[in-house]
Homo-oligomer: A and B are copies of this chain.
């Protein structure tokens, strides 16, 4: 006879107690595969419970694969693959991911690990971080946004909880189209696709074009996620050097003629990492070149709003009569990145093709956040916030420039003075080559860090360059940080390392 004990004072319901005790007996092989269990009637009598209680316990045992039940027969313990409990899950699995995953994804994975910042933990004091392009959370208009989001959900309710329009929330697309008009870009809402941040826009464009043997012309140096992503997509990066006024156009023409890239990727404002903004003339010439060779341009407008010194040039897209330019924008670099909302503006047919890739890769962006951002923009908060950010960062950048003059001798380094944005690109005029790891540990010892130049080149160049980002630092932090950087350079030049 099967011995079970029901504890009437327990908070575990009787059927559950029966289930658990039976389960134990099966797992401990007291009951073995093929053994018959008592009928529900019999066990119910024995335990003094209702038959349905026993039936529930048997149902649970069946559901979890412990027993077989056939109508009219007593249940039988079955051969059973064991559940994987924490204990018996193996430390190392049977799949060798390094072998199973594609070469391209192995390489992406390795690069991703390299890109993890070398910050913190290693130093006692607070490290001032010039390495990251993350935004300064102290400036986020969190309360305004929260209220707008709440209001959007209150007004539209259920309509925001479905998949919604695949191309994005229509009022937001209309707002963006209107906003782009203020940058000289004539476009309709139908020519706009909402994406999960600007990064997804880039990925979609690369995926649309990727085919064996195809190449993309890029700036060198460039944004550090570009080359790995191109290669992952199976596209070859063709590096065109950046001069003081932007991409070298003679070289670009050479590349266009000889290598026939399917795309030119460019960042005309506050280029990452050099901080260079190109002139109106440069933009016109670049567009003319691409028109001649009928090659589309991906214009990365990630910092369209952050032009705060001197005179702003208009986007390349504003001159694009022949629909060559795919313009990618974002709310991340002036508002906050957490909404993950960017957009692509391009010829309708191009948008349609990108949309199909989007639909298969992750369906669509959340309507909830899009409606929240729309409310935020429509209430005038966005325009006000842009003005605030321009004011704040003009002042912060002035502080940075002043600190450079004060703490960094012209013999040690030279840098490009930006006309906006958050980035300063610096060339170290080292007496001897500096190795990245030495440099980084020296910086960390002094309580400062920055992004190492090689990250931004497809090849092995870029040593003796660093990129400084002031995006998340206030004026005091900037000044202290640059002072510490001066200390580092002083030590290097005086062989104190």
Our pick among B65, B100, B104, B366 for the contact of A340 (Cβ within 8 Å) is B366
Q: Which one, A10-18, A134-142, A385-393, A440-448, is touching chain B?
A: A134-142
Tell me which residues from 347 to 364 in chain A have a Cβ below 8 Å from any Cβ of chain B: 347, 349-350, 352-353, 355-357, 359-364
A402 at the interface (CB under 8 A from B): no
A88 at the interface (CB under 8 A from B): yes
Residue of B nearest to A181 (CB): B86
A65 & B208 in contact (Cβ 8 Å cutoff): no
Residues of chain B within 8 A of A49, CB atoms compared? none
Distance in angstroms from A113 CB to nearest chain B CB is 8
B262 & A100 in contact (Cβ 8 Å cutoff): yes
Distance in angstroms from A43 CB to nearest chain B CB is 19
Tell me which residues from 181 to 209 in chain A have a Cβ below 8 Å from any Cβ of chain B: 184, 186, 195-197, 199-200, 203, 207-209
A63 at the interface (CB under 8 A from B): yes
A338 at the interface (CB under 8 A from B): yes
Residue of B nearest to A347 (CB): B93
B161 & A337 in contact (Cβ 8 Å cutoff): yes
B65 & A360 in contact (Cβ 8 Å cutoff): no
Q: Which one, A149-157, A423-431, A483-491, is touching chain B?
A: A149-157
B161 & A319 in contact (Cβ 8 Å cutoff): no
Q: Which one, A118-126, A280-288, A450-458, is touching chain B?
A: A280-288
A365 at the interface (CB under 8 A from B): yes
A164 at the interface (CB under 8 A from B): yes
Our pick among B111, B210, B360 for the contact of A102 (Cβ within 8 Å) is B210
Residues of chain B within 8 A of A214, CB atoms compared? 102
B153 & A149 in contact (Cβ 8 Å cutoff): yes
A495 at the interface (CB under 8 A from B): no
Residues of chain B within 8 A of A45, CB atoms compared? none
B102 & A338 in contact (Cβ 8 Å cutoff): no
With known contacts A63-B312, A208-B102, A321-B84, A162–B337 Cβ distance under 8 A: yes
Our pick among B160, B362, B369 for the contact of A197 (Cβ within 8 Å) is B362
Q: How far is the CA of A366 from the CA of B337 in the complex (A)?
A: 8
A108 at the interface (CB under 8 A from B): yes
Q: How far is the CA of A145 from the CA of B225 in the complex (A)?
A: 35
A90 at the interface (CB under 8 A from B): yes
Q: How far is the CA of A258 from the CA of B292 in the complex (A)?
A: 51
Residue of B nearest to A340 (CB): B366
Distance in angstroms from A232 CB to nearest chain B CB is 6
Q: How far is the CA of A323 from the CA of B62 in the complex (A)?
A: 25
Q: How far is the CA of A89 from the CA of B323 in the complex (A)?
A: 8
A97 & B350 in contact (Cβ 8 Å cutoff): yes
Residues of chain B within 8 A of A140, CB atoms compared? 157-158, 161
A101 & B196 in contact (Cβ 8 Å cutoff): no
Distance in angstroms from A52 CB to nearest chain B CB is 15
A82 & B319 in contact (Cβ 8 Å cutoff): yes
A150 & B158 in contact (Cβ 8 Å cutoff): no
Q: How far is the CA of A368 from the CA of B340 in the complex (A)?
A: 10
Residues of chain B within 8 A of A361, CB atoms compared? 199-200, 203, 229
Q: How far is the CA of A112 from the CA of B324 in the complex (A)?
A: 24
A291 at the interface (CB under 8 A from B): yes
The 4 A-B pairs with the shortest beta carbon distances in the complex, nearest first, are A93-B323, A112-B356, A65-B280, A102-B211
Q: List 9 A-B contacts (CB under 8 A).
A: A63-B312, A81-B287, A83-B314, A89-B323, A94-B291, A108-B356, A108-B357, A109-B356, A163-B338
